[in-house]
Amino acid sequence: MVDTDILRQVEVFQDLGFAQLKAVAEHCEARDLSAGERIFSEGDEPVSLYAVLEGEVVLHWGLAPGRPALEGRTVTTLGKHRTFGWSSLVPPRKFSLSAECAGTGCRVIRVDREGLLDLFEKDPEIGYLVMFRVLEVVSARFLALQEEVARRRGSDIINRW
């Protein structure tokens, strides 16, 4: 269980009222991570949505198994109250990026996907308000990926000259 005052600052929960936040909080738990700890890997089947409480989380892709994050291609770095692991709520339910704790350590919230999806069905207003914000998260990630792809394609063109 996570305090509702903390939860309301998380980007995907910012539109919820107190009672709605309380219902969501029942499916949340906080977790401390050490620097470099892998939270999930690209291709894993997700069971949780995540948000950063303290510290930073780095998202990257195309990383060989077991290699440190900095050798992969970083898509974005997320700070306080940012959300990640949106693939847990969207088919085909497979993480499209890997996530690792950056800096000296971090604290994250884990939200149980099954509990959250059940809650959305019971109270579609919560579902609407949260999934609308999730769409913004997916959109932001899409833009970051697009920039990375454009940068790489641009480099490829230059390298062929």
Partner 1 sequence: MSVLERLEEIEIFKDLTLDQRRAIGAGCEEQSFRGGERLFAEGEEAAHLWVLTEGEVDLRFDLPGRSSSPQNTILTVGRGQALGWSSLVPPYEYKLSAYCAGESCTVLRIEKQFLLELFNKDPVIGYRIVRFLNSVASLHFQQLQGSDRRLPPAITTVTVHLATCGIAAGAREVLMALMEEAGRVNRQDIEVKRGRCIGQCKTEPNVTVEISGEDPVVYQKMTAERMREVFQKHVLDGEVQAEYLLHRG
Those residues with Cβ within 8 angstroms of residue 130's Cβ, 6 or more apart along the chain or in another chain: 12, 13, 15, 16, 24, 116, 120
3-class DSSP assignment, residue 60 = strand
- Residue with Cβ nearer partner 1 (32 or 45): 45
Indicate which single residue of 3, 18, 70, 128 sits in contact with partner 1 (rule: CB under 8 A). Answer: 128
User: Contact 128/89 with Cβ under 8 angstroms?
Assistant: no
Terminal Cα distance for the chain, rounded: 57
- Residue with Cβ nearer partner 1 (5 or 156): 156
Map the footprint of partner 1 across residues 30-69, applying CB under 8 A: 43, 45, 61-62
Map the footprint of partner 1 across residues 140-159, applying CB under 8 A: 141-143, 145-146, 149-150, 152-154
Binding mask 76-115 for partner 1 (x = CB under 8 A): ----------xx-xxxxxx-x-------------------
- Residue with Cβ nearer partner 1 (22 or 153): 153
Give me the least distance between CB of 63 and partner 1, in Å please. Answer: 12
User: Contact 52/103 with Cβ under 8 angstroms?
Assistant: no
User: Contact 55/109 with Cβ under 8 angstroms?
Assistant: no
- Residue with Cβ nearer partner 1 (30 or 138): 138
Tokens, residue 24: 């969501």
- Residue with Cβ nearer partner 1 (21 or 89): 89
Chain length of the chain: 161
Backbone angles phi, psi at 95, to 5 degrees: -60, 130
Gyration radius of the chain's alpha carbons: 16
Which residues would be at the binding site for partner 1 (CB under 8 A)?
43, 45, 61-62, 86-87, 89-94, 96, 120, 124-125, 127-129, 131-132, 134-136, 138-139, 141-143, 145-146, 149-150, 152-154
